[in-house]
Structure 1
């Protein structure tokens, strides 16, 4: 049986490819969430992994929710509390798992990222886009709202006014507009997308893994905590960092004017 999520590892870098191109890589009505959670747990357990690339097979990054699967909810046959639990135990597990993953995740957006597909890209730490990528927070077009955390994620990335514009209109924007709005950090040709993501992943993986993981945790916590709280966390994390072998190696290599070797 074909799986939704293809897991490939090359040294310190894992590439996750959503692999249902004939349906444009939907996140519901299949095993997508379950497979994402399994992959994230596997990455967390493997201390050799230092960076992750997430992309989609075919012409789309992800089309988001499977509209045919939504018929279960639209029909009114499911009690409201059961629908609520369906979200809580399903798609809403994904933003929590990705938010708490300490390994940096790069979204290589190869095509359309629609609805929950856009929100999935927003769950990642870095987004780079193919010239053919398109983005839409399109829930309103189906008479629903972002049920997977997009209303929390998107404003923190592009600002409240632009997030409101995308959310209230459901309009689609192209890669150039996404770059102008800071939704993505760079645009590359379709042929160069994976190579660019891999170069970026290698640049991350070349650094001491504890420092990258703790820095990501601070960035994530900084999205919702006070400055004094973040400073306390920073002091604690810095104390841990000063006591690592990789920190000692970095200082020694700088003084000795040689390339460092980080072993994690």
Structure 2
């Protein structure tokens, strides 16, 4: 059914695994579409999202989405302002989501982890909001969720610098709920998911809905702002330089235009 991820169910727990390990689970338009579909069609009491080792998700596939590959920039800049469909599915589902972060969660990979209700990290996990290095702004979770978790000042530092932090630092700033040995990651996430799934599902869904009402911004409005901002930034020389420098494996030189 899926080509770039798998969806498995064990009892009341579903597991979505990104499966492009050769590309460190970088996201293509196909991955985004399959992720949205898997979340919207899930009929379980708890979801775990993880990646095939060695990474959780290294963000967008730069060559396809940012660097002029087939269907790349025009597909992003010509759309009407909107919330990313995969983000819409993740942010509005009433199913509790656990991110089992087994390695690098970079760019939209970090955004994906932020859309989970709970993050369990392997000691090999790494986190980074790398959008600034490509001359772009982050998606809605980096703006609407990160500061809730780590505080405004730490969120600003992560967003403005694009620094990558390790699992120990992520635990220290409360970005994740726990860090476990790598081989214990899925057992720990599964145990937690089963504990959640054993509780009354209607009450769990009401609680998640209540948390969203109390703490979350208007995701659709924020998504419209983000997509408008990205459409502008994709046209800048700084964005082109960010992509070129990445592909050429050199330090970027930004001109502010």
- Is 1:63 aligned with 2:55? no
> Structure 2: which 5+ runs fail to align?
218-257
Alignment of 1:9-24 (within 5 A): 9-24=9-24
Equivalent residue, structure 1, for 2:77: 83
Aligned residues: 214
Q: Deviations over 1:113-142 (max 9, x none)?
A: 001100100001000100010000111111
Contact 2:2 2:34 in 1 (8 A): no
Distance 1:150-1:87 versus aligned 2 partners, 3 A rule: farther
Q: CA deviation at 1:147?
A: 3.4
Distance 1:82-1:4 versus aligned 2 partners, 3 A rule: closer
Single out whichever of 136-145 and 182-191 deviates more from structure 2. Answer: 136-145
Contact 2:111 2:139 in 1 (8 A): no
Counterpart CA distance in 1 for 2:88 and 2:2 is: 26
Distance 1:2-1:35 versus aligned 2 partners, 3 A rule: closer
> Structure 1: which 5+ runs fail to align?
226-264
Distance 1:24-1:213 versus aligned 2 partners, 3 A rule: same
TM-score with structure 1 setting the length: 0.76
Q: Deviations over 1:175-215 (max 9, x none)?
A: 01000111000000000000000100011011011011110
Distance 1:82-1:116 versus aligned 2 partners, 3 A rule: closer
Distance 1:2-1:208 versus aligned 2 partners, 3 A rule: closer
Equivalent residue, structure 2, for 1:72: 68
Equivalent residue, structure 2, for 1:236: none
Higher relative contact order (CA 8 A, sep 6+): 2
Equivalent residue, structure 2, for 1:162: 154
Counterpart CA distance in 2 for 1:113 and 1:54 is: 12
SS across alignment from 1:129: strand
TM-score with structure 2 setting the length: 0.78
